[in-house]
């Protein structure tokens, strides 16, 4: 990324809308915008505009006046990127915004790369890398709780927590170094118990962050969900309940749902990325080839899914297919839905069915997929199962796989340091592991982030952010 360049991009989503905002950032932002934008009021100029002010005017392309424009001015370093920034609002739809971008490029601007504005903010010290990742998570959040979690990270809660851990480790490491390297200086000895206690405290704090990652990720990004069951148990009906309209074709004929249907639906605070399945059934030698492929895909999805909803007909004796499904759900984040409760199944049969299924499922839930009142019940059960009901959105949380990997590396290095003490290996060994942990934490916060890391983080951003 070349900070000498002045970049421009559309900041609002493409498509029809009230307004479109084009953002310009860089050392020549004012100079270049002045070539494109003409203020309406006599005597006003772009060059003379102060930060945090707005100006009405129009923009021109190749000498032709095109659209009324509002320019919003920011002066370095008081802007999102820390550079001179001007935001230009024109009428929505893509024509005006594209013409404005063309005019800006003719004036010398370069189109911004994905996430380039936020990357500039990081490079210019306006925000940390973890905060930049939080920006992306806010944009991508699937629900209010997920957005709140990302906002907490944007406010710097994670950066603060990591800094506290780093400060503790730094003083520990300074003490160890002084003690090992300058034995003649009479540095007080660090008692092994003291060292282990300090290492354990840091490890526990990292453990807490790592343990909370899964539920936080579900709130921020949603969860891949597989819907399973033999034909006619009510999978399509359940899908329609979730989707709120007739997405899947519901018929009383077995095997109409042939393929894996993908659809995102909101269940309370959680976005479910749904995969409806071919009706799961035995396929013999002369079985239907298309359906067999559908079933194979369902099984594969089951392995990868963050949530499995397995549907059974309440009170009906478990068939071989039912048992095969249940067996595959063991150890997975799976919920057994005992559907068609409105048909009032025999209580003894229901109890037997529940008892048979319970060992294979995290939760067994009686339900009537046909009844919209079932939705909040299902929502609460899923939130409980995935741990999202217990997430404190005001607390520090890891919000990317990159952060999780770095935190895990730091935690493992601390565990190795603690181990070395338990084995009586002396302070040198602890010092080496401690240095590893510090490196991993510096990678997490972005202090030590390489160009390659920054490239990777920002490649997932949208252009214009």
Q: Does 411 bind ligand GDP (CB under 6 A)?
A: no
97-105, 110-118, 365-373, 441-449 -> range binding ligand GDP (CB under 6 A):
365-373
Q: Does 277 bind ligand GDP (CB under 6 A)?
A: no
Closest distance to ligand GDP from the beta carbon of 142 (Å): 25
Closest distance to ligand GDP from the beta carbon of 425 (Å): 59
Q: Does 120 bind ligand GDP (CB under 6 A)?
A: no
Residue number with CB closer to ligand GDP (233 or 360) = 233
- Burial label, 115 (beta-carbon count in 10 A; 0-12, 13-18, 19+): buried
Residue number with CB closer to ligand GDP (118 or 232) = 232
Q: What distance in Å separates the CA atoms of residue 270 and residue 406, rounded to the nearest whole number?
A: 26
Q: Phi-psi category of 414—alpha, beta or left, where left has phi over 0 and alpha has psi -120 to 50?
A: alpha
The set of residues, in sequence order, having a beta carbon less than 8 Å from that of 79 and lying 6+ positions away, is 25, 51, 85
Site string for ligand GDP, 213-232 (x = CB under 6 A): ----------------x-xx
Q: Does 252 bind ligand GDP (CB under 6 A)?
A: yes
Q: Does 370 bind ligand GDP (CB under 6 A)?
A: yes
Q: What distance in Å separates the CA atoms of residue 399 and residue 213, rounded to the nearest whole number?
A: 7
Residue number with CB closer to ligand GDP (42 or 373) = 373
Q: Does 281 bind ligand GDP (CB under 6 A)?
A: no
Residue number with CB closer to ligand GDP (133 or 313) = 313
Q: Does 342 bind ligand GDP (CB under 6 A)?
A: yes
Beta bridge partners of 266: 271
208-216, 322-330, 340-348, 376-384 -> range binding ligand GDP (CB under 6 A):
340-348
Q: Which of 26, 92, 146, 234 binds ligand GDP (CB under 6 A)?
A: 234
Q: What is the DSSP string of 242-301?
A: HHTS--SPP-SSTT---S-EEEEEEETTEEEEEEE-PPP----TT--HHHHHHHHHHHHH
Q: What distance in Å separates the CA atoms of residue 207 and residue 188, rounded to the nearest whole number?
A: 30
Residue number with CB closer to ligand GDP (170 or 251) = 251
Strand order in the sheet with 110-111: 37-39, 53-61, 64-74, 85-91, 19-25, 7-10, 110-111
Q: Does 250 bind ligand GDP (CB under 6 A)?
A: yes
Q: Are 363 and 310 in contact (CB under 8 A)?
A: no
Q: Does 236 bind ligand GDP (CB under 6 A)?
A: yes
Strand order in the sheet with 363-366: 261-267, 270-276, 223-228, 307-313, 334-339, 363-366
37-45, 152-160, 233-241, 413-421 -> range binding ligand GDP (CB under 6 A):
233-241
The residues binding ligand GDP (CB under 6 A) are 229, 231-237, 250-252, 257, 279, 339-340, 342-343, 368-370
């Amino acid at each position: 990324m070349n900070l000498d360049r002045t970049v421009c991009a559309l900041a609002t989503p493409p498509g029809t809308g009230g307004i479109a905002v084009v953002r310009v950032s860089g050392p020549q932002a004012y100079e270049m915008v002045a070539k494109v934008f003409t203020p309406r009021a006599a005597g006003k100029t772009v060059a003379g505009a102060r930060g945090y002010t707005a100006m009405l005017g129009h923009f021109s392309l190749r000498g032709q006046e095109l659209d009324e424009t509002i320019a919003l001015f920011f002066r370095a370093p008081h802007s999102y990127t820390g550079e001179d920034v001007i935001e230009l609002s024109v009428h929505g739809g893509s024509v005006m915004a594209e013409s404005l971008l063309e005019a800006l490029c003719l004036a010398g601007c370069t189109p911004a790369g994905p996430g380039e504005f936020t990357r500039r903010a990081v490079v210019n010290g306006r925000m940390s890398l973890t905060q930049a990742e939080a920006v992306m998570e806010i944009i991508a959040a699937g629900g209010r709780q997920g957005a709140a979690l990302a906002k907490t990270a944007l406010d710097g809660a994670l950066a603060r927590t990591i800094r506290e851990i780093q400060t503790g480790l730094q003083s520990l490491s300074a003490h160890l170094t002084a003690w090992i390297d300058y034995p003649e200086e009479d540095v007080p000895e660090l008692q092994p118990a003291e060292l282990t206690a300090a290492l354990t405290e840091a490890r526990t704090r990292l453990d807490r962050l790592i343990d909370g990652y899964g539920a936080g990720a579900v709130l921020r990004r949603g969860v891949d969900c597989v819907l399973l069951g033999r034909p006619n148990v009510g999978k399509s009906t359940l899908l329609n309940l979730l989707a709120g309209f007739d997405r899947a074709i519901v018929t009383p004929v077995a095997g109409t749902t042939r393929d894996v249907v993908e659809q995102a639906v909101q269940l309370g605070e959680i976005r479910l990325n749904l995969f409806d399945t071919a009706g799961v059934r035995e396929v013999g030698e002369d079985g239907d080839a298309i359906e067999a492929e559908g079933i194979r895909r369902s099984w594969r999805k089951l392995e990868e899914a963050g949530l499995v909803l397995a549907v059974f007909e309440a009170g009906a004796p478990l068939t071989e297919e039912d048992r095969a499904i249940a067996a595959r759900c063991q150890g997975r984040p799976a919920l057994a839905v005992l559907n068609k409760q409105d048909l009032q199944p025999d209580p003894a049969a229901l109890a037997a069915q529940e008892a048979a299924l319970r060992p294979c499922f995290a939760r067994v839930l009686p339900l009537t997929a046909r009844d919209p009142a079932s939705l909040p019940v299902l929502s609460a059960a899923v939130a409980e199962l995935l741990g999202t009901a217990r997430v404190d959105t005001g607390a520090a949380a890891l919000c990317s796989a990159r952060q999780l990997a770095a935190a895990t590396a730091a935690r493992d290095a601390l565990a190795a340091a603690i181990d070395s003490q338990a084995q009586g290996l002396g302070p040198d060994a602890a010092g080496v592991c401690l240095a590893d942990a510090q490196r991993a934490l510096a990678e997490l916060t972005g202090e030590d982030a390489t160009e390659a890391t920054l490239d990777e983080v920002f490649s997932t951003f949208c252009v214009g952010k």
